[in-house]
């Protein structure tokens, strides 16, 4: 029997309530009933995959408070953007393990920021073990949606992410097809590499509402297809057999009259969307209310538009609200 409600995926755990990618963020998401959680992976200097939203970590850790790491602050170009801060690839895992996690959006998520500096950084293997144990504890199958970050950039500095990901998935028992695994990235090249390695997973191509994928931009320059063209009927035709689905910015599904989900389904592709958040700061203008950026607006009306597209999966920052709404 086909599933009628979308998968509810805890985006970096439950970051509406706890600093993203912290142990308590993931534990809370599992307890709140998610179908899966989504860790983002980046690499250290010594080839350890750690779970961070970006390889630049000044906004999500207390690294700036560590005098012993002051000289690691630098400016780099990542995916064509200049960034200044501290980068995971300049640290060993042993060094990163002394850092503590912080709320990335403290002005919007004041309550979550009260948990700053209480927890360490997790490795991918830690999250894989945590989800496996959580499935047993909560008595239901819980999946992992693994997002690969900045694969082309890491390759350019001599760190190939594909073998590291395969190593960790196999070591943690997530590469034998028994546990629900999705692998996603804004770059299709790494998805193809991981698929060729024989890792049984659903492969999902992340789609921004604007711009071009960095891997294709590097390879093809201005000839590279835009993200927007990738979810046209012709663009979706080209994905058939290469990926199992797409995960689009919710902005694309909120455009009146869009047919992305129907077009993808007609080609046997699944569609996920990101990110369903209740705060005014993240809602489309017509759904915002009073009370400032951190106050909840009319999120249910926005989410209803998204649900009515027939989407297969939604990423949420507040898993309890997501489970309540999308399974209601």
> pLDDT, tens digit, for every residue of 33-91?
999 999 999 999 999 999 999 999 999 999 999 999 999 999 999 999 999 999 999 99
pTM: 0.97
Return the percentage of the chain with pLDDT > 90, whole number. Answer: 98
**4: pLDDT strictly greater than 90:** no
Q: Which CATH number fits domain 7-53+105-326: 3.30.1240.10, 3.40.50.12780, 3.20.20.190, 3.40.50.720?
A: 3.20.20.190
Q: Calculate the average pLDDT of the chain.
A: 97
> Buried b / exposed e across 134-145, counting CB within 10 Å, b at 16+?
bbeeeeeebbbb
DSSP, collapsed to helix, strand or coil, labels residue 47 as coil
Q: What is the mean pLDDT of residues 178-207?
A: 97
Which of 264, 275, 255, 260 is closest to 321 using CA atoms?
275
Task: Give the pLDDT confidence score for residue 297 in this predicted structure.
Answer: 98
pLDDT, tens digit, 9 for 90 and up, residues 253-305: 999 999 999 999 999 999 999 999 999 999 999 999 999 999 999 999 999 99
Question: CA 142, CA 111: separation in Å to the nearest integer?
Answer: 27
Task: Give the pLDDT confidence score for residue 1 in this predicted structure.
Answer: 39
Cis peptide before 275 (omega within 30 of 0): yes
Which of 6, 9, 10, 33 is closest to 21 using CA atoms?
10
Q: What is the mean pLDDT of residues 98-120?
A: 97
Return the percentage of the chain with pLDDT > 70, whole number. Answer: 99
Question: CA 197, CA 222: separation in Å to the nearest integer?
Answer: 30
Task: Give the pLDDT confidence score for residue 3 in this predicted structure.
Answer: 58
Report domain extents, the chain.
7-53+105-326
| Angle of the 161-171 helix axis to the 188-196 helix axis, nearest 10 | 50
Question: CA 212, CA 155: separation in Å to the nearest integer?
Answer: 18
pLDDT, tens digit, 9 for 90 and up, residues 200-240: 999 999 999 999 999 999 999 999 999 999 999 999 999 99
Task: Give the pLDDT confidence score for residue 132 in this predicted structure.
Answer: 97
DSSP, collapsed to helix, strand or coil, labels residue 102 as coil
Which of 309, 252, 243, 255 is closest to 275 using CA atoms?
252
Q: What is the mean pLDDT of residues 168-188?
A: 96
- Cα dist from 31 to 67, 137, 239, whole Å: 37, 9, 35
Residue 63: which residues within 8 A CB-CB, separation 6 or more? Answer: 57, 69, 72, 86, 99
């Amino acid at each position: 029997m086909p599933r009628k409600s979308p998968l509810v995926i805890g985006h970096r755990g439950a970051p509406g309530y706890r600093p993203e990618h912290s142990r308590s963020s993931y534990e809370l998401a599992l307890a709140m009933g998610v179908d899966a959680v989504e860790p983002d992976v980046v690499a250290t200097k010594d080839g350890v995959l750690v779970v961070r939203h970006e390889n630049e970590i000044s906004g999500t850790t207390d690294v700036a408070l560590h005098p012993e790491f002051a000289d690691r602050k630098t400016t780099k170009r990542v995916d064509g953007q200049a960034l200044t801060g501290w980068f995971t690839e300049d640290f060993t895992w042993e060094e990163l393990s002394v850092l503590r996690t912080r709320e990335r959006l403290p002005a919007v998520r004041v309550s979550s920021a009260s948990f700053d500096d209480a927890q360490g950084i997790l490795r991918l293997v830690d999250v894989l073990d945590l989800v496996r144990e959580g499935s047993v504890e909560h008595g239901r199958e819980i999946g992992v949606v693994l997002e690969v970050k900045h694969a082309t950039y890491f390759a350019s500095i001599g760190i190939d992410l594909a073998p590291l990901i395969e190593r960790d998935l196999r070591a943690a028992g997530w590469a034998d097809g028994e546990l629900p695994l999705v692998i996603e990235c804004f770059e299709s090249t790494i998805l193809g590499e991981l698929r060729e390695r024989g890792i049984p997973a659903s492969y999902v191509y992340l789609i921004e509402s604007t711009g071009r994928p960095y891997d294709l931009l590097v390879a093809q320059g201005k000839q590279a297809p835009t993200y927007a063209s990738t979810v046209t009927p012709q663009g979706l035709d080209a994905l058939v057999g290469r990926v199992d689905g797409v995960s689009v910015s919710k902005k694309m599904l909120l455009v009146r009259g869009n047919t992305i989900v129907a077009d993808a389904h007609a080609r046997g592709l699944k569609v996920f969307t990101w990110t369903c958040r209740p705060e005014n700061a993240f809602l489309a203008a017509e759904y915002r209310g009073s009370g400032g950026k951190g106050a909840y607006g009319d999120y249910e009306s926005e989410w209803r538009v998204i649900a009515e597209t027939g989407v297969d999966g939604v990423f949420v920052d507040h898993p309890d609200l997501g489970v309540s709404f999308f399974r209601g």
